[in-house]
Amino acid sequence: MSSQKRLEIFERVLDLVESVLRGKVDPFEVNVIQLLRRLREEFPKLKSWDEVNLDLESVLGLARIVVKQEEWVEHRASRLFIDPLLVTLKVETLDPKALATVLLKSWRPIVEARGVTPTFLEAAARYWMELPPFSGRREELPPEQEPSEGAELPWSAEEFEALLEAERTQLLSLLEERGGKLRYEEYVNRGEFWENVKRAYLLSFLATRGEVSLAKNPLTGEIYLVRPGKSAGTPRSMVVSFTKGEGDA
């Protein structure tokens, strides 16, 4: 078998491991024994350290799948096992007050008093001693700018809401066409400069209202517009710089 084919096998195994660990594939759908046998057949033919490393990674990945299978069996056998579908149905049929009552009856909150402790006092004293005088800090602040006359929005509240709605409809249909993901830059920078500024401004409102989400690829730094609520991690604000190009009027 060629080196290329071997690499494909490793990649397939590693992808499978990733899917199982992310919960996308049932660990029992993976035929671990067959895959290990395949890796064993290939092992004597490995030619480079890269291949050995990939082989090692694949074997470790398969071992993690076995751990997942064990956890699955333990969970099914435990008293806590309930079908998630049943929980979903129960949650959907109960009103919020009944759900809150369920929590209340099984809840014993931690009791804690928040006060000034010696450690806190010590930290506060240290901070105070190191804090530069306010007059010194104030000098560093840039002078406040008076808002210019044309700084008010050119739209009334109703007009602005209508603009937002139009932008939202356009964006969501475009996202639908592109499979739910669209490059931010591509969407914003597709007209004249002030049109682009307006689009970016409206987008910031749509993102704040949760009508659209932004996702950043940590490797390339590229920002994408995605369907609301589909981004991973804790919601947070994102700064997107907007510069005037040479050709912009």
Partner 1 sequence: MPEERGEDLRKKVRRAAHMLLLRSHTKPGVKGWELRRALGKDFKMVLKLLDEELKDIGFKVVAKRPDGSDAGEGDLKEAVFYVTFKEPPDWPEVRGSGWRIDEMAALAACVAFISAKGGVASREELEDLLMSKMPRWKVPGILTRLIRAGYLTEVEEGLALGWRTRVEIDIELLLSLLLGSRGT
Cα gap 223→87, rounded to integer Å: 36
Among 7, 52, 63, 72, binds partner 1 (CB under 8 A): 72
Task: For the beta carbon of residue 143, count every other beta carbon within 10 angstroms.
Answer: 5
Token pair of 246, please?
């040479």
Give the range of 83-91, 136-144, 187-195, 196-204 binding partner 1 by CB under 8 A: 83-91
Stretch 84-123 residues interacting with partner 1 (CB under 8 A): 84, 86-88, 90-115, 117, 119
Minimum separation from the CB atom of position 226 to partner 1 (A): 11
- Among 71, 82, 56, 68, residue whose Cα is nearest residue 29: 68
Planar angle of CA 139, 142, 145, nearest 5 degrees: 135
Give the range of 1-9, 160-168, 187-195, 227-235 binding partner 1 by CB under 8 A: 227-235
Q: Which position has the token pair 């035929």?
A: 31
Give the range of 75-83, 134-142, 147-155, 173-181 binding partner 1 by CB under 8 A: 75-83
Cα gap 212→169, rounded to integer Å: 11
User: For residues 5 and 97, which CB has a smaller minimum distance to partner 1 in the complex?
Assistant: 97
Residue 28 found at the interface with partner 1 (CB under 8 A) = no
Minimum separation from the CB atom of position 219 to partner 1 (A): 17
Residue 233 found at the interface with partner 1 (CB under 8 A) = yes
- Please, what is the angle between helix 157-177 and helix 193-208, to 10°? 90
What spatial distance separates the first Cα and last Cα of the chain, rounded to whole Å?
60
Give the range of 45-53, 69-77, 128-136, 156-164 binding partner 1 by CB under 8 A: 69-77
Partners of 213 in beta bridges: 226
Q: How many residues bind partner 1 (CB under 8 A)?
A: 52
Interaction site with partner 1 (CB under 8 A): 21-23, 71-72, 75, 79-84, 86-88, 90-115, 117, 119, 209-210, 228-230, 232-235
